[in-house]
Amino acid sequence: MLLIECPWCGERAETEFSYGGEAGIARPADPDALGDAEWADYLFNRSNPRGAHRELWNHAQGCRRWFGVERDTVTYRISGSFRLSGGVGKRED
């Protein structure tokens, strides 16, 4: 069971969190301007890397804040958590 650091609450067990997929996928500003392939890329395609992966987690059973985590998809080692900010995108700073 992963030990995840919520930037607001500190380290907590994985069971307190829910997973939100890859970070940094911003919603297109004007979806209607996109072709089907581009929209499908936003909708369905993820990088699914072997190794470092920046992803979204929600402290669902705690403060309910969303934040980012960088996790290695092979070793599951977490190198750090980060807050989301800036005002645009399901993305990091």
**Residues binding other proteins (CB under 8 A):** 1-3, 13-14, 18, 20, 26-27, 30-32, 34, 36, 39-40, 43, 56, 58, 60, 64-66, 75-78, 84-91
Q: Measured from the CB of residue 48, what is the shortest distance to other proteins in angstroms? A: 18
In DSSP notation, 14-47 reads GGG-EEEEES-BPPPS-GGGS-HHHHHHHHH---
Residue closer to other proteins by CB (options 43, 49) is 43
Residue closer to other proteins by CB (options 2, 9) is 2
Distance between CA atoms of 44 and 57, rounded to whole angstroms? Answer: 19
